[in-house]
Amino acid sequence: MYRKDGESYFIVDSHVHFWDGSPANQANRYGKGFIECFYDYHRNLSPAQWQWPPEKFGKYTEDDLMHDLFTAGYVDKAIFQPTCLNDFFVNGFNTTEQDGAVAEHHPGRFIVNGTFDPREGEAGLEKLEALAQRWHLQGVKLYTAEWKGDSKGWKLSDPWVYRYLDKCEQLGIRIVHVHKGPTIYPLNRDAFDVADVDDAAGAFPNLTFVIEHVGLPRLEDFCWIATQEPNVYGGLAVAMPFIHSRPRYFAQIIGELLYWLDENRITFASDYAIWQPKWLVESFVDFQIPADMQAEYGTLTPEIKKKILGLNAARLYDIEVPAEVIAGLSPEPAAAPGPVPKVSA
């Protein structure tokens, strides 16, 4: 919980990792390149005092994670999003099992998401079922940029994906987080294209699709799709840290999202350990659209900030929210998809 100026903000960090990118776990030069790329994002967009040395960034401890999220970072609930990368890292980069083990050490703190890879065919469906039962999955994170042998990525329009999404519905998985990033195949197309999400979201109206990184760098395509499909949300991982380095750009992103989507379908995330929730939450609560942009974008009210920082994700994941946060908020709009957040005393 973060409190400032008489307001209480319930914080759901919708995208956190517990990874091992250390040299000992790197399977090849791609694994090395991958963690270096993450580290450059970390260094480029973090304030100087929040930058880690590369050794710590490669592999941090469970104590670091708990401290940075919950002791220092105001987070009430964190959602683990796996990124397996089995072709790059000996034991995987950040698997559901590794996340789950941490979550079991700290009951009530985390939600553990699973994943699937449609290229695994029939066997992958069984794996997903086992994963869902073991970790009581509500959500999956799909990393479409994952390499697998000769394949250098996949799309939601690929064969088998709808079988997996069917399976998700059967297993009670309701939320599908999709990383939209540089999948490499097919190479002659726009690797960041988000059009495949459109078809999947239309075909599975009972699933919610959270597009991580709000489709960046294809913000406009994401916004366009989200206006067509009410079950498409935008996750702010990677977009958040611009609040420090390029606040006017951050204002434009938020402004465009609020215009195209509205405030009920945007969710906060740090992408820990790339960035830390403490400074992101503090900065966001203090943030306002610059005066010269307000004619175009309006302003951010405490209510909008509360929804983005936690209430939207709480509604999606059925997380109880303390009454002090909800007090005084306008009722949920009837058109907003998903159940209204549960209120506890």
Partner 1 sequence: MTAATRETLTSRVRRALATVTDPELDEPITELGFVAGIEVRLREDRGHEVSVRLRLPTSFCAPNFACLMVADAHDAVLALPSVDAVDIVLEDHFAAEEINAGVAASAGFGGVFPGQAGGELTELRETFRRKAHLACLELAVRKLVEQGWQVDALGAGSLGDVPDSPERRSLLRRRADLGLPTDPAAPLLVGDDGGPVTADRVATRLRFAKAVRVGIEGNAGLCRGLLHTRYPRRAEEVEP
Applying CB under 8 A, the residues found at the interface with partner 1 are 29-30, 33-34, 36-37, 40-41, 43-45, 150, 152, 182, 184-192, 216-220, 223-224, 242, 245-246, 249, 252-253, 256, 259-260
**Do the beta carbons of residue 13 and residue 66 sit within 8 Å?**
no
Shortest approach of partner 1 to residue 248 CB, angstroms?
10
If the CB atoms of residues 295 and 334 are measured against partner 1, the closer one turns out to be 295
Q: For residue 141, report the phi and psi dihedrals to the nearest 5 degrees.
A: -115, 125
What's the one-letter identity of residue 278? K
Q: How many residues does the chain have?
A: 345
Shortest approach of partner 1 to residue 188 CB, angstroms?
5
If the CB atoms of residues 76 and 221 are measured against partner 1, the closer one turns out to be 221
If the CB atoms of residues 46 and 113 are measured against partner 1, the closer one turns out to be 46
Shortest approach of partner 1 to residue 242 CB, angstroms?
8
If the CB atoms of residues 8 and 151 are measured against partner 1, the closer one turns out to be 151
If the CB atoms of residues 112 and 289 are measured against partner 1, the closer one turns out to be 289
214 to 8, 202, 218, 339: CA distances (angstroms): 26, 18, 8, 22
Shortest approach of partner 1 to residue 42 CB, angstroms?
9
DSSP string for 173-210: --EEEEE-S---SSTTS-TT--HHHHHHHHH-TTSEEE
Among candidate residues 240, 236, 16, 279, the one with its CA nearest the CA of residue 141: 16
Strand partners, 343: 321
What's the one-letter identity of residue 32? K
Shortest approach of partner 1 to residue 299 CB, angstroms?
18
CA–CA gap between residue 135 and residue 329 (Å, rounded): 33
